[in-house]
């Protein structure tokens, strides 16, 4: 599995940086964002270091599908019932700040701080 020793998300996966984890299996991890924009703001990340959506290949179909179908379960587990939003920022101009592929999952009553 590829990792980047300088990547904050790789360090979270390795247990070097604490997180408020809500899900983990052999492929993905989900945890609460430390600067939430909504009442529930989770990040879903692959455990393998993938820089961004620009780096995703056809071989990543199952991984990407797993991330997408995990979101509704996580929101239901968090008590979100009125809908939610999934966002993947790609590249600097796309708003990506951490260059390890990650999906934001936002939910809870509005108004949200951002988005």
C-alpha 12/C-alpha 59 separation (Å) is: 24
What is the distance in angstroms between the CA of the first residue and the CA of the last residue of the chain?
A: 33
Active site residue 102: yes
CB contact at 8 A, 20 and 32: yes
**49, 2 Cβ separation under 8 angstroms:** yes
Rounded Cα distance, 83 and 9, in Å:
27
3-class secondary structure, 63: helix
Given 41, 49, 100, 102, the catalytic residue: 102
Q: Any idea which residues carry the catalytic annotation?
A: 102
């Amino acid at each position: 599995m590829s990792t980047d020793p300088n990547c904050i998300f790789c360090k979270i996966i390795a247990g070097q940086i604490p997180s408020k984890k809500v899900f983990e299996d052999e492929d993905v991890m989900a945890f609460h964002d430390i600067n939430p924009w909504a009442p529930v703001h989770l990040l879903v990340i692959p455990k393998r270091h993938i820089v961004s959506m620009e780096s995703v290949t056809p071989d990543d179909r199952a991984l990407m599908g797993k991330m997408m179908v995990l979101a509704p379960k996580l929101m239901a587990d968090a008590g979100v019932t009125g809908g939610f939003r999934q966002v993947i920022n790609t590249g600097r101009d796309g708003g990506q700040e951490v260059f390890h592929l990650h999906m934001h999952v936002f939910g809870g009553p509005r108004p949200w701080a951002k988005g």
